[in-house]
Chain A
């Protein structure tokens, strides 16, 4: 992998071709999070803060084990806890490691107006380039997972990089390295899907979880983080994981039809006015020149 990781296949707010697009095939990388073997130890949270050298962030205690309500600009990896009571009255303690999902079709990138502020590498990692970020926050609106977070002091937006600095050197992301139960895996998307399906089958066949399955939502083209869930029919139970995430409709309308319509209208309007002038000219064209007719 090495430096090749830094080849880019998608660039936000970019006019023209994308250097690196289709010049080289690479494995799409993926993280696999097996929620059924997560014990909520938060080693991944600590490893993330450590590796990315992020400043201390006060935690919020709200009578759960959860560190804070949602991820922050300097807290990219957060385990979401949910005490779920099943229909038979038994309790399930659901834990999901939440972070950027690294969508194949990222809504943040689609919404971003700043050239190169968000890129997608050929290995699928979606990365924010803060030096090019203008702080408009459109990515916050484009994301269906509530991931990009704004820093009021630097006026830039931050999120999980999938440890692109580690991955480019052939290492696994810091969270993966820290996981003590092996519920986190990292590798090619292909391999992770095979592993996830195997685990889901195991859960169905041997552990009485008939609805067990893999979360790899198609609405965003699949994700670079996939989950094994005990109940894949109710992803919302896992800290509000959307069952069918897509780029928000209004963002799609804005970046799609509205943009075309607007551009055609603006350019067409300019041409129309120019042609009108050529054809009809000023309103007093046929008047005899007179004092005061001109400004």
Chain B
């Protein structure tokens, strides 16, 4: 991780490599499709979304296939990031200081590494959420193949699928809010890959030290 080639000219630092960015957007676009069509199936008040996206039948046909794409992307995320998402002692302190974080008092937060504890929670909620959504989703994909004696499988699936989806939606909303609105520079980092050194120092001091620590020359501004 702490490789000098992560430091880019003009005070920039590489946060997400191309493979990470590509995979992020594969997950993001598939998730957004699943969210929209899922909401259409969730409530009659949202069923119009299915009409906009090509009709109820089309949405029902594509939802499971796009679900497989999303699941694959999340598993790829696991292989890319799982090692960095392990909970540390500092994360426990971070959660205890959550009130400071919410009030934007970042100087009072324990230093975070490449990912803070909230981001780790997001990652694991999506990881386990995707597994649960896949398992229940397969049952919902072929309800006619579940025999009458095994109907309890369907009952579990119709309930747990939306539960798992709601958990991911909660995390998704916070994720969008943090990355697009709260932390300026975060959205660009997952498009172009880089953030400013100020960004790294402010939000991920542990990661900043890791990258810059070994370097003798001061970072260029």
Chain A residues within CB distance 8 Å of chain B? 13-15, 70, 111, 113-115, 132, 134-138, 140-141, 146, 149-150, 152, 155, 248-251, 253-254, 258-259, 261-263, 265-266, 269-270, 273, 276-277, 280-285, 287, 290-295
Contacts and interface: CB of A to CB of B under 8 A. Distances in A.
Nearest to A111: B158
B185 to A, nearest CB: 5
A210 B182 CA distance: 74
B154 A141 contact: yes
Contacts of B59: 134
B60 A135 contact: yes
A249 B155 contact: yes
Given A146-B148, A284-B184, A292-B196, A269 B143 contact: no
B104 A285 contact: yes
A135 B154 contact: no
A295 B11 contact: no
A150 B143 contact: yes
B47 A282 contact: no
Contacts of A146: 148, 151
B44 A291 contact: no
7 contacts: A134-B57, A136-B41, A137-B144, A138-B143, A283-B184, A294-B188, A295-B189
Given A277-B177, A282-B182, A292-B199, A258 B163 contact: yes
A280 B144 contact: no
A249 B185 CA distance: 47
B42 interface: yes
B197 A15 contact: no
B17 interface: no
Contacts of A13: 44, 47
**Dominant secondary structure at the B interface:** helix
Contact of B158 (A134, A251, A281): A251
B183 A113 contact: no
Interface residues of B, number: 55
Interface string B156-174: 1011001100100110011
Contacts of A115: 44, 47, 56
B66 to A, nearest CB: 15
Contacts of A294: 184-185, 188
A283 B103 contact: no
Interface string B166-204: 100110011001000111110111011000111100110
A134 B44 contact: no
Given A258-B163, A284-B184, A292-B11, A250 B158 contact: yes
Interface in B2-18: 10-12
B42 A134 contact: no
B184 A295 contact: yes
A293 B162 contact: no
Contacts of A276: 102, 177
Given A141-B151, A150-B143, A282-B183, A250 B159 contact: yes
Contact of A273 (B60, B177, B189, B199): B177
A251 B151 CA distance: 12
A283 B56 contact: no
B40 interface: yes
Contact of A15 (B44, B144, B192): B44
Contacts of A250: 155-156, 158-159
Contacts of B42: 113, 259, 262
Contacts of B188: 294-295
A263 B45 CA distance: 11
B173 A282 contact: no
A292 B10 contact: yes
B199 A293 contact: yes
B170 A258 contact: no
A283 B143 contact: no
Contacts of B217: none
Contact of B60 (A134, A281, A295): A134
Nearest to A255: B158
B184 A273 contact: no
B140 A15 contact: no
A54 to B, nearest CB: 18
B56 A134 contact: yes
B43 interface: yes
Contacts of B163: 258
